[in-house]
Amino acid sequence: MSATPPSETAPFPFPTQVVYDGPADRLRVAVDLAPAPLDDVTVEADSRRLRIAVERGGAVTERTLTPLPPGLAFGDERQAIYNNGVLSVSLGTRPRPRPRPRGR
């Protein structure tokens, strides 16, 4: 039995809404981070994951989301807005490239 890192076991204390809009090819995430100031919020995205981290009292609370259906990846169209304590993230999606067969 392996130990799970604390960041995966600790509950993310901020209300979060995740919506995938297939027809628009977009993932939208809204997180109520109030009263965290902007300087304490970090948003990172790669082709398959969205990471949101908030520093509170010297500790970092984070949540990593991998909510895309199989076969999709995040594209280059990305936007994050922090307004009145609410973080809104919008990520465009695209078909995930298929690996090439070896030996060809």
Over residues 58-69, the mean pLDDT reads 89
Token code pair at residue 29: 């995430």
Percent of the chain with pLDDT over 70: 87
pTM of structure: 0.80
pLDDT (average), residues 51-78 = 90
Residue found by looking up tokens 């600790």 in the block:
10
pLDDT at position 28 = 96
Quick one: CA dihedral 28, 54, 32, 80, positive or negative?
negative
Nearest to 14 by CA among 58, 42, 66, 54: 54
Does the pLDDT of residue 58 top 70, yes or no?
A: yes
Query: For residues 65 and 43, is the Cβ–Cβ distance under 8 A?
Result: no
Identity of the amino acid at 94: R
pLDDT confidence tier of residue 43, bands split at 50, 70 and 90: very high
Statement: residue 17 has pLDDT above 90: yes
CA distance 44 to 98: 24
Residue 104 has pLDDT above 80, yes or no: no
